[in-house]
């Protein structure tokens, strides 16, 4: 079981094309890496699917990791969230500074 895990909802326009995720992370811990991922899950329950995942490498300090994604947002049937997990015992040694999602839309938004 991880020392810390948490998630936050992601809200993007329906039918938007999700292109990439940029994770700006800090990892000054010596024991464990910081894992962050973008997930989707059916609204009615069911298995989650990983859309993008990044893991820090060692205690390398500040790290910016970009992952390509190729999916269309389906808010009628899916929910989306970012998930963070670590086993690092040293409190404050790791931090998520930001998550930036790049997406496009094919039509004018309301």
Predicted local confidence at residue 81, as pLDDT: 95
pTM: 0.84
Predicted local confidence at residue 41, as pLDDT: 96
Q: What is the pLDDT along the chain (110 residues), one digit of tens a residue?
A: 557 788 999 999 999 999 999 999 988 887 788 899 999 999 998 999 999 999 887 667 888 889 999 999 999 999 999 999 888 777 788 889 999 999 999 876 56
DSSP string spanning the chain?
--SEEEEEEE---TT-EEEEEEEEEEE--SS--EEEEEEEEETTS---EEEEEEE--TT-EEEEEEEEEEEE--TTTEEEEEEEEE---STTSEEEEEEEEEEE-SS---
* All domains of the chain in start order, with CATH: 4-104 (2.60.120.200)
Predicted local confidence at residue 5, as pLDDT: 84
């Amino acid at each position: 079981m991880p020392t810390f895990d948490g998630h936050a909802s992601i809200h993007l326009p329906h039918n938007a094309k999700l292109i990439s995720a940029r994770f700006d992370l800090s990892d000054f811990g010596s024991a464990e890496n910081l894992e962050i991922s973008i997930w989707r899950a059916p609204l009615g329950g069911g298995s989650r699917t990983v859309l993008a995942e990044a893991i820090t490498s060692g205690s390398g300090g500040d790290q910016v990791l970009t992952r390509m994604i190729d999916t269309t947002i389906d808010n009628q049937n899916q929910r989306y969230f970012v998930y963070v997990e670590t086993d690092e015992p040293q409190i404050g040694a790791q931090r998520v500074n930001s998550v930036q999602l790049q997406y496009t839309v094919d039509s004018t938004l309301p």
